Structure 1
Amino acid sequence: MKDRFVDIREAADQKRAEGQYISAGDGFTRAAFGFISETTYGDDLESGNFGQFLYCHLSSTLCYRIGGQAQRSKNRYRQGSLIASDLLGYNCDEAALRGLIKEFEADLKTISGEEEGGLYQNAIEEYSKANHLDMWQSEMAFDWVYAFFRRVGDSSSHQPSDWDVIHRNPIDRADFKENTFGDMVSELIYDGEWDFEKSF
């Protein structure tokens, strides 16, 4: 079943590359809910399934916004926020994962066009409590969130001076996003495209 959701994600990304943002948003939405349905709360949250849910849900929110369907983008933010609240309330005690979920919610809110309201600072606070945060960054869920951000950044003129630092340290990433991610998203919406080279 997981391979099916991977196929749906890849097809959605092809639609994005072709500039068919509404179709891409629909595909990413299907893939996102497929991946979360395969995720077990608790120990499975660092897995590739959960990471691909985060990536696809973020991607659907952005595609709808670029495609001119702002309300659907806001709907994805609200759905993601509810899922984040559910995850944080049940069997998610690891500070690093709590930080990642809060960062995800902040990204969604920013993409949907709303002020993130201190959510990135909340993510930083959770990350700061984590033991061996550098080791967590090698988990698949963290890699997928970084992949999404990198692909937005590769389509924008607003980029960090050192992507490796952003990759290694989620605190630095959340801090950078707090000041810059909204500008990245606004640029993509203004240009009407999300076009990155698949070099990552």
Structure 2
Amino acid sequence: MSFNKAHEHEQAAQQHRENGDFVEAGECYTAAAYIYLADWPPTHRGKNVSHGEYYLLNAATCYRLGGCTDRARNRCQQGVLIAEELLDRTKNIGGTTAYDRARYAAWYEFIGDFRVVGILTEKVSAYERAEQIYFEEGDPPLAHREQEHIWLVEFFEQILHESDGDVENWRKIMQEMTFSEWVKYKQEHLPDAFDKLISQSE
């Protein structure tokens, strides 16, 4: 399956975002997300689905910035439902390393992020479940991240950057973080950074 069209939508979304055309950016991110989510049923751990979830987070963010709260909540509710299905589909996939087994918790992180962006309930419980799984699987270092976690970290960095957070310091301390420390750090900082970003656009 080719994702060239999704890349075109992403480039258009970034341009709209830079120009302050947030609703248009949200539309383009949504289009990119649906292309990745169309690779269904998800293969193995859902690598392409996680990329689609990342675009849905960006779409919802842009809709919030553009004042389309209902549309943002819609994308977040979709994202939560998809992540919940991936939790069911991948629950019996093991792995030879602690990181392989810990990857399952990424879907709980997506749920938490969508609940932050979409002003949905129970975001804390999703993050706490992710943290619990990381502990159970040996709490590998965040530096070993790939696939699903790459998109989770990328989204956090975007929000931190756009809300004038200290991205440079974050990139230094993240090198020493374990996965449980990462999700705790995100739980403490993402909601405030996101609220600050939204308030800057009002």
**TM-score above 0.5:** yes
Measure, in 1, the Cα distance between the counterparts of 2:130 and 2:22.
29
TM-score by length of 2: 0.83
Segments of structure 1 that go 5 or more residues without pairing to the other structure are 194-200
Post-superposition offset of 1:141: 2.4
Match in the other structure for 2:196: 187
2:71 maps to 1:72: yes
Residue of structure 1 in register with 2:97 after alignment: none
Instruction: Tell me the residue number matched to 2:54.
Output: 55
Q: State whether structure 2 residue 152 is matched by structure 1 residue 145.
A: yes
How far does residue 92 in structure 1 lie from its aligned partner after superposition?
3.5
CA shift, 1:132, in A, is 7.2
Cα RMSD of the aligned pairs, angstroms, is 2.4
Match of 2:161 in 1: 154
The 3 A distance-change label for structure 1 pair 36 and 139 is same
Q: How far apart in 2 are the matches of 1:90 and 1:59? A: 24
| Paired position in structure 2 for 1:178 | 187
Q: Which amino acid aligns with 2:160?
A: G
Identity of aligned residues (%): 24
Paired residues in the alignment total: 191
Alignment of 1:42-121 (within 5 A): 42-45=43-46, 47=47, 49-93=48-92, 94=94, 95-115=101-121, 116-121=123-128
**Contact 1:25–1:63, Cα closer than 8 Å, also in 2:** yes
What is the deviation of 1:122? Answer: 1.1
**TM-superposed deviation, 1:135:** 7.6
How far did residue 73 of structure 1 move? Answer: 1.1
Structure 2 CA distance, aligned partners of 1:133 and 1:41? 25
Which one of the candidate residues 128, 131, 138 is aligned to 1:124?
Answer: 131
TM-score normalised by the chain length of structure 1: 0.84
Post-superposition shift, 1:186? 0.6
Q: Which runs of structure 2 are paired with 1:31-46 in the superposition (5 Å)?
A: 31-38=32-39, 40-45=41-46
